[in-house]
Amino acid sequence: MANSKTGVQRPLSPHLQVYRFTTTMLMSIVHRITGGALYFGILLLVGWLLAAASGPEAFDMAQGFFGSWFGILVLLGFSWTLIHHAIGGIRHLVWDTGAGLGPKGREAWGLGTIIGSVVITAALWIGAFVFGLI
Amino acid sequence: MPEMRTPLSKVRGLGSAKSGAKTWWRERVGAAALLPLTLFFIWLVLSLAGSDHAAAVATIGNPFVMVLLLLFILVSADHMKLGMQVIIEDYVHSEGQKVVWLVLNTFFSYGLAAAGVVAVLKIGFGM
C-alpha cells in the first residue's frame, strides 16, 4: 500500500507497464472507455427528445445542431463508440459461454471488434450520405 | 479441517458476499436486450435525420416506436448504471468517496431515465 505507515517497502503486484501489449488488453480498455463515453453520450438522445417534447422551435434548434458539421462530427464519434461497444458486448457474451477464448479465437474477436466497428460505422455513414440523409 | 458451513448455508449457495451474481446476470441480460434495441435506435435516428417537428412527433408517437424507445432508454439507464458502478468500485478506493460517487451514479442514471421517459410520453400523448 502506498499509504502504509510501517516503513517497510513491500513488493507491489505488477501493474499495466510490465505487461506485453496484447489485442485483448487494448479491447478491454477501449470497451471500458467507450462505455464511459456512452454514459454521457446518451445525454444527446435525451436532449434531442426533450427538444422534441418542448415544441417545434426547440426541435428545429436541436436538428440544426445535429445537422451542422460539428453535430455530424459528434454523431460520427457517437455512432462508432456505440457500435464498438455493442460488438465488444457480443464478444463478451460469447466469451461468457466459454467459447472463443483460445489463442486464435480471442485474437480474432479482438481484431474483429475493431475492424468490424470501423467498417460498420463507415457503411452506415456512406449509406446515409448516398441516401441523402446528410 | 472440519466442515464449518451448515447444510442450510450450502443449499442457499450464497457464500459470504450474499450477492453479486445477480448484478452480473442483470448486466448481461441488459446487454443482450440492448443489441436489437440499438439497431432500432440507429434506424430511428436515420429515419428522423433532418426531419421537421411534425414528422418526428408522428414517428415517435407511433405505439411500437414508443415502446421500443422507452425500453431503449430504461435498459440503457440500468446498463450504464451497472457499468459505471464497476468503474467506480475499481478506481475509487476511499470508502467515503466511493459511496458519494455511487450515489451520484444512481442519481444521474435514474434522472436521465426519468427525463427521457417524460419526453417520450409527452411527445406520444400530446403536449
DSSP string, A95-121: HHTTTT-SHHHHHHHHHHHHHHHHHHH
**What phi and psi, each to the nearest 5 degrees, are found at residue B107?**
-60, -50
Is B6 among the domain residues? no
Whether B53 shows a pLDDT value over 90: the answer reads yes
Is B90 among the domain residues? yes
Compare CB distances from B116 to A35, A46, A124 and report the shortest one's residue.
A46
Place of cell 461468457: A96
Residue of A16, A32, A39 to mutate, interface with B, max B Cβ within 10 Å: A39
Is B95 among the domain residues? yes
pLDDT of residue A133: 82
Chain A residues lying within 8 Å of B52, measured CB to CB = 56, 59-60, 63
CA angle (A88, A92, A98) in 5-degree steps? 150
Residue A62 is part of a domain; what is its CATH number? 1.20.1300.10
Interhelix angle A56-67/A69-96, nearest 10 degrees: 80
Whether B127 shows a pLDDT value over 60: the answer reads no
Place of cell 505487461: A19
Q: Which domain holds residue A40?
A: 23-130
- CB contact (8 A) between residue A35 and residue B83: yes
> What confidence tier does B77 reach under pLDDT thresholds 50, 70, 90?
very high
Is A41 among the domain residues? yes
Chain B residues lying within 8 Å of A86, measured CB to CB = 34-35, 38
How many domains would you assign to chain A? 1
Q: Is the Cβ of B44 closer than 8 Å to some Cβ of chain A? A: no
Is A35 among the domain residues? yes
Q: Is the Cβ of B33 closer than 8 Å to some Cβ of chain A? A: no
Is position A85 annotated in a ligand binding site?
yes
> What confidence tier does A1 reach under pLDDT thresholds 50, 70, 90?
very low
The H-assigned helical ranges of A17-100 are 23-54, 56-67, 69-96
Residue B83 is part of a domain; what is its CATH number? 1.20.1300.10
- The pTM score is 0.88
Among candidate residues B71, B89, B81, B84, the one with its CA nearest the CA of residue B32 = B71
Predicted complex ipTM: 0.87
CB pairs under 8 A between A and B: 86
The answer to whether B116 touches A45, Cβ cutoff 8 Å, is: yes
- CB contact (8 A) between residue A128 and residue B73: no
